[in-house]
Each structure stands twice: as structure tokens, then as C-alpha cells.
Structure 1
């Protein structure tokens, strides 16, 4: 029998490293584009304040990028260490976009980041601007290929199970790249990164204005952040709606759980604003609903039903029974590879093989599963409803809050009222952590809502884990949480130090000789000037 404690610890370890890593990713994406916008303004106007702004935000971007790399590397090793059967089963599909992300996007970004930092006095204004935009392009490309890989896990298109190799293999790489789920996730995630960058710049600029420091730089940064933030906030909500619509087509159980919809409602279904779970933690005992809204949002139709959890469990039972046939047929092929009849039958039923594997949690001989075991496996396809229900509403509420927040500041910026209301400036600083709350909530919904699948409908999560021991995972999980927490504290300390120092005229010490590489890599401060001399 599968040790579910080991599986849960493996999930916790990957979740911890992924959530830590994604603290840095959205800020990297957002800052890269915004510092490119500021440098473009510098090149067009020649005003030194825009150069200082680019240098200052670029320094903070560099610290964040380094931490993102440090925390991201571990995740790739975990595919082989903690999820070895996943790597074997779908590595032919998942590995390709992951490799492209590393070879094309990451190296593109990393190479031009070096030119960004060291090329200010070696490149022309236009040449350096091109470098900065290529840094932003690399950051976005990196997100694209990761989300293509993740989107395939949510909607496994362009691939087929090969009974001879016992692996999923690519049949249409174009379909993998242009996967509807992946593209919707990409534009939504990147927009969230832009919003994160805008809030970060706005919050730090608000702090400068409250302290009456670097006022001209702060005011110009706030204008850019307010404009870019409003556009990003609108995009996040609109593209989030598109992402939800795509999920309605391909992940109906996730949508039913998000809406706490236990029973199929007549079309168009209402939208539940708030709800209280029943005594058994199941169907809501009390709810406030808006008629028709749920159907219009999720299906964009007045006639299409939104299936509830109980109906979807029934559909899962049917697919599990077909999966049992697929599993037995696969065993026939493994016994006799020349069995043409078995291969023909497998071609028809292989898409349900993953549902048959759900029974592996309860017995090894899948073909002999009882009705009770089939029902339990079908009920396993329901993720925990109430964490998803409330997390989604937190994320959605923050999305609309940011639209109102940036609309207000866009209006005030257009009137030149950036420094006239200190309570609003304190609010501008206080919103700093909220983008990460919304972003981490979104990833929780995407990944937790997919359970029990590591690849939707193809491979159950418990079946994908490596056969590690309990203490292996306890020790490694404790180590990673401790290490990542230390790295996070170090990053905060570095950023606070840079923010306290404020913008500099030069990014690197000009006094140092070329061979003094270490000294040249230090920000210009009185201490480094003395060291350079």
C-alpha cells in the first residue's frame, strides 16, 4: 500500500519551496518592465532623474532576481528526488518546456542582466535601453515556458500514453505550446507580476514622500506606478475571468469546489458571495447568492448548466470503471506485445487509464476493485472545498481593491495631488504585502484545486511520488524551510538597506580599477569610495 504520509510530506516540501520561490518571481517580472519604461523615458527626455530611478529600482530588481534563482534551482531537483515516477511518466512532455525555459529564457535574462549592471558606461544610451528591454523580455519568456509546462499539467493536450515505454509522449508540440490553459495562465500570471511591481514601486515611493526624501524621483515613480498599476489591475481581473472560463471547460471539479456547488443548479447558476459550511463540513448550511451571476461568469451562457460536485463524482465513477478496462488491457499488452486486439481496445480507452490508477490507493489489482472502492476513488477527485472557496474570494476581493486603489491614485496624479494627503500616502505604503497575498492565493487555488491529480486526469499525485522514507522528508523539509526563511530575511535586510541608502548617481563604484572586480561590484557609498581609494 502507498504510504500517504510520505506523499503528503512530499507535497508539503514542494509547496513550501514553490511558494517561497514565487515570492520573488512576480516582483522580478514587474520591476523588469517598469525599469525599462523608466529608462525609455530617460533616453527620450535626457532627464537625469529618470536615470537615477532606473538605477535605483534596477538595484532592487537585481537582489530579487538573485534570490529567485537561488530558490528556484531546488525545485527542479525535486522532480527527480521527490517525484521520480512523475519524471519518468511525463518527463518527455514536461521536460521540454522546462529545458527551453532554462536554455533560452533564463540564460537570455541572466546574460543581459550582467550587461544592464556593468554596461552603463560601456554602451550607448540606446544600446543600454535595448539591453534593459531584453532583460524584461527574458523575464517574461521565463514565465511563459514554466506556465506552458504547468498548463499541460492542468490540461494535458498534445500527448499520448505509449504502452511500450509506459510513458506519456508528445504527439503535437504545437498543441502543448498553444494549450488554451497555459496561454490563459501566462497572461494572467504576468499581469499579476506587473501589478506586484507597480505596488512595490508605489509603496516605496510613498514612504519616500512621507519622509520627504528623494521627492522628485518618488513623484515620477509614483506617476508611472499609478498608470501602469491601473492597467495591470484591470488586466488581472479581466484575464483572471478568462482563466476561470477555461478552467470551467477543462477542470469542472475545481470550479465546483471553488463555488461550493455540491448540486447542479438550473442554468444560469447563481454565484455564491459567502457561505457557511454545514455541520459535517459539506454542503453550505447558509449562503448569500446573486442569481444568474455564476452561470454568466463561468459558462458565459444563460442555458449551459454548471455541474455540481455530486454529479461530477458520478461521472468520475464511470471513468474509473473505464480506467479499470484500460488498466487490464494494458496488462494484456505488457504480457503479449503482439496482441493486436488488445492494442486496438487500448487505443479507445487509454484516456481513462489515469482514473483507473486512482484505485491504486486502495488495492494493487485494479481490475478487481469493488463498488465501494470505486466510490471512494471517485470521491477522492473532490478537493477540499472550503479552503478553495475562501481563498478564491480573498484573491478576487484584492483584485477589485487594486482597481479602485490605482484608479484613485491615477486621478490624484493627473491633478498633481501626490503629496497633499499623508493618510493616503500611509495607505499607499501599507498595501505593500497585498499583491503577494493575492498571488500566492492564486497559486494555491491552481495547484490545490487540481488535487488528487498531479497531471489532470492522467496521473494521481500519490502515484507520482518517490519511495522516500518518512525521516528523509522530515529532515529535508525542515532544512529547506529554515534555509529559505533565512534567505528571505537576508533579502528583506538587503532591500531595506538599499532603500535607506536611496538612489545613487552611479550603480557601481567608478573609482575602482577594472581588475578590482569585487570593489567595482559594490554600490557607491562613502565606505566603498574609501575602500576603492
Structure 2
């Protein structure tokens, strides 16, 4: 029988390392694009302050990127260490995007990061600008391939189960690439990274303005980040709505749990603005009619099923999954049994639901109605966790729109400086951690909301874990948490030290500009 303590520890270890890793990813995405914008202004205007801005934020970007690489590589190894059956079961599909991410996106990004830092005096302005944009493109490519892999876990398209190899295999790689869930997750995730980068720049620049240091660089940085952040914050909300719409098609239980909607309502369903989710019902709720149905289905007539009805549907799929499991056993006994293959082909999509019974007994073909009902109820994720995580994410999303809109209006009117709007600058400083809180809440919704599935409807999480001992996992979990916490502390220390040192200021602006013109002439003549 399955040791669920081992499964829970494996889940905790992967969740901890993934959440640590994603502290670094969004800042990489946001800063890379903002740096490219700043350097573009430098190339177009020739004003040296934009070069110094790019170089200063580039140092902070480099620190963050190095830590992201260190944490990300270890996380990928865990698929083989902690989730070996998962790797066997879906490695044919899941491995391809990860390999492409490592070979193309990561090396593309890493190569151009080296050229970015060491090419200032060796490349022309246009060549170095091209490097910076390619570096930003590489960062986004890296996110794309990871999210294609993750999107397939949410919506496993373009693959079938092969009864001869006992694993999922690709039938349509283009369907995997253009999976609507993956595309929606990609644009939503990178937009959240852009918000993070913009908030980071505004917060650090606000510290400088409050202290009256590096004023010219800080004011220009705020102007760029405010306009970029406003566009990104609006995109996050719009694209988040698209993610919800796609999830309504593919992950109805997740949507119902996010909204604590236990019973199916007449279309269009109402929205729970506030609720206290309980066991099978809400003890208190503030309900707004029609809103949820209009947002998630974009229709007045499409019904959105509640949790209880979805459990009933899962029960029927488990019964079909038992049939698929029985026919699969016949195929393994007699590979030439054409009748068994046809019966399996008709029911294999529900095989994963049948595997949910492995939680209760090994011979699932003999499962009792009570065990089938328990397995169906296991498809309900933690309603309270999803309900509140989603609302934290949404509330912060609308806060970012309001914050960046105010900052954009004031910056465009040149009313943000060391002498005015200290209240907004202080708010910016205290808002620095908020994008990370919103992002981590979003990942809780995405990943915790998929439970009990490692692959939605295909492979239960408990069935995907490696056969490790609790001692192995306690030791490795303690080691990873220690190392990752140390890396996070090092990153914060390096960031604080870099911010305190500030950007390199010219001794005399006229001398600095003359030197810059000389360098430009040498580059053009060389």
C-alpha cells in the first residue's frame, strides 16, 4: 500500500523548492525587459544617464538571475528523485519541453547575459542593445517552455496511453505546444513578472528619492516603470480572466473550489464575494448573482456545475476507469486480445480516475460503492485554501492597477521627485513584497487546485511518487530548505549592498559625456 506520509513529504519538498525558485523568476522576466527599454532610450538619445540606469539595474538583475539558476536546476532533478513514476509515466511528453528549455532558452539567455555585462566597451551601441533584447527574449523563452510543460499537466492534450509500454506517449506535439491552457498561463505569468520588475524598480527608486540620492536616475526609472507597470497590471487582470475561462473548460472542479460553489446554480451562476467555506457548504457568504457565470463562461445560458455534482460525475468516471483497468489487465495477459484493446480504447481516458482507488485497495476491480464514493470525494481540493488564495491574488491585482495608474499620472506630469509625493513613495517601498505574495498565491491556486492530480485526470499525485523512505525525505527536505534559505539570504544581502552603494555617478557630467562620445567614436572607427 502507498505510504501517504512519504507522498505528503515529497509534495512539501517540491512545493517548497518551487516557491523558493519562483521568488527569482518573475523579477528576471520583469527586469530584463525594462533594462532593454532603458537601453533603447540610451541608444536613441545618446544620454549617458540611461546607460548608467541600464547598468545599475543590470547588476541587480544578474544577482537575481544567478540565484534563479541555482534553485531551478535542483528543482528539475526532483522529477527523477521524488517523482520517478511520474517521469516514467509521462516523460515522453513532459521531458521534451524541459529539454528544449534547457538547450535553447537557458543557454540563449545565459550566453547573452555574459555579453551584456562584458560587452559594453567591446560592442557598438546597437550591437549591445541587440544583445540586451535577446537576453530578455531568452528569459521569456525559458518561461514559455516551462509553462508549456506545466500547461500540459493541467490539460493533457496531444497524447494517449500506450497499453504496451504502460505510459503516456505523444501523438500530436503541436497540440502540446499550442495547448490553450499553456498559452493562457504563459501570457498571464510573464505579465505578472513584468509587474514584479516594475514594482521593484519603483520601490528602490522611491528609497533614493526619499533620501535625496541619485535623484535623476530614480526619477527616470520611476517614469519608465510606472508606465510599463500600468500596462502590465492591466494585462495581468485581462489575461487572468482568460486563464479562468480556459480553466472552466478543462478544470471545472478547480473553478468550483475557488468560488466555494458547492451546489449547481441556474445559469449564469453567482459570485461569492465573501464566504466562510465549511465541510460541504458555506457557513456564511456574500453572494452577487450572475457575475461568476458571466466571467467564467461568457454566457447567460451555460451552466457551471457545483462541487457536489462534480463529485457525482467523478464517481461515474471512476466506474469507467475500473473497466479500463480490467481491460488493461487483459491486454497485459494476452497482448493479442483485440476485443480487450477496443474496450480499453473506449475507456482509457478514465483510467486515471480508476487509479484513485489505489488509495484504498490494490485490487481496484473489486472496489465497493463506499470506496468509489470516497475516491470521488478525493477529487475535491482544499476549498478554503483556494478560495482565499484566489481572492488575495485578485485583490492585489486591482491594487497594482490603482497604484501604477496614480504613479503614471504623477510621473507623466513630473510630480514625483525628492520634494513631493512622499506618501506615494513610502507606499511604493512598502508595496515591494506584494507582487511576490500575489504570484505565490496564484501558484497555490494553479497547483494546489489541481489536486489530487499530478496530471489532470490522468495520474493521481500519490501514484506518481518515488518509493523513498521518510528518513530520505526528511533529510533531503531539511537540506533543500537550508540551502535555499541560505541562497535567499545571500541574494537579499547582495541586493541591499548593491542598492546602498547605488549607481556609479559621474564625477563631472560634462567630462562623463565627453568620455562617452570618445568611446562611441572608438567603437565606430574600430
Instruction: Compute the TM-score of the two structures, normalised by the length of structure 2.
Output: 0.95
* Shift of residue 505, structure 1, vs aligned partner: 6.0
**Partners of 2:277 and 2:383 within 8 A in 1:** no
> Counterparts of 2:341 and 2:91 in 1: how far apart (Å)?
23
Match of 2:126 in 1: 126
Match of 1:510 in 2: none
> Counterparts of 1:295 and 1:366 in 2: how far apart (Å)?
37
Match of 2:245 in 1: 245
> Counterparts of 1:283 and 1:309 in 2: how far apart (Å)?
10
- Tell me the SS of whatever aligns to 2:285: strand
Match of 2:213 in 1: 213
Match of 2:18 in 1: 18
- Which of 392, 415, 427 is the equivalent residue of 2:390? 392
Cα deviations by residue, 1:472-504 (Å, 9 ceiling, x for unpaired):
101110111111111100000000000011112
- Tell me the SS of whatever aligns to 1:123: coil
Match of 1:430 in 2: 430
- Residue 146 of structure 2 corresponds to residue 146 of structure 1: yes
> Counterparts of 1:206 and 1:200 in 2: how far apart (Å)?
10
**Partners of 1:395 and 1:442 within 8 A in 2:** yes
Aligned pairs (5 A) from 1:492-503: 492-503=492-503
Considering only aligned residues, what root-mean-square deviation do their CA atoms show, in Å?
0.8
- Residue 431 of structure 2 corresponds to residue 421 of structure 1: no
Cα deviations by residue, 1:388-419 (Å, 9 ceiling, x for unpaired):
00110000000000000000111101211102
Q: When the two structures are aligned, how many residues end up with a matched partner? A: 504
- Tell me the SS of whatever aligns to 1:314: helix
The answer to which of 416-425 and 26-35 deviates more is: 416-425
Aligned pairs (5 A) from 1:477-492: 477-492=477-492
Match of 2:303 in 1: 305
- Residue 456 of structure 2 corresponds to residue 465 of structure 1: no
Task: Give the unaligned 5+ runs of structure 1.
Answer: 507-533
> Counterparts of 1:69 and 1:266 in 2: how far apart (Å)?
49
**Partners of 1:266 and 1:305 within 8 A in 2:** yes
* Shift of residue 318, structure 1, vs aligned partner: 0.3
**Partners of 1:55 and 1:504 within 8 A in 2:** no
Match of 2:61 in 1: 61
* Shift of residue 437, structure 1, vs aligned partner: 0.2
* Shift of residue 277, structure 1, vs aligned partner: 2.9
Runs of 4+ in 1 over 4 A off after TM superposition: none
Instruction: Compute the TM-score of the two structures, normalised by the length of structure 1.
Output: 0.94
- Tell me the SS of whatever aligns to 2:264: coil
Match of 1:513 in 2: none
- Residue 363 of structure 2 corresponds to residue 365 of structure 1: yes
- Tell me the SS of whatever aligns to 1:168: strand
> Counterparts of 2:128 and 2:114 in 1: how far apart (Å)?
11
> Counterparts of 2:376 and 2:187 in 1: how far apart (Å)?
33
Match of 1:32 in 2: 32
The answer to which of 53-62 and 414-423 deviates more is: 414-423
Aligned pairs (5 A) from 1:39-188: 39-188=39-188
Match of 2:410 in 1: 412
- Which of 283, 292, 295 is the equivalent residue of 1:294? 292
Task: Give the unaligned 5+ runs of structure 2.
Answer: 507-526
> Counterparts of 2:300 and 2:460 in 1: how far apart (Å)?
34
Match of 1:265 in 2: 265
**Partners of 1:159 and 1:172 within 8 A in 2:** yes
> Counterparts of 1:505 and 1:461 in 2: how far apart (Å)?
54
- Tell me the SS of whatever aligns to 1:233: helix
* Shift of residue 286, structure 1, vs aligned partner: 1.2
* Shift of residue 282, structure 1, vs aligned partner: 3.4
> Counterparts of 1:145 and 1:300 in 2: how far apart (Å)?
29
- Tell me the SS of whatever aligns to 1:285: strand
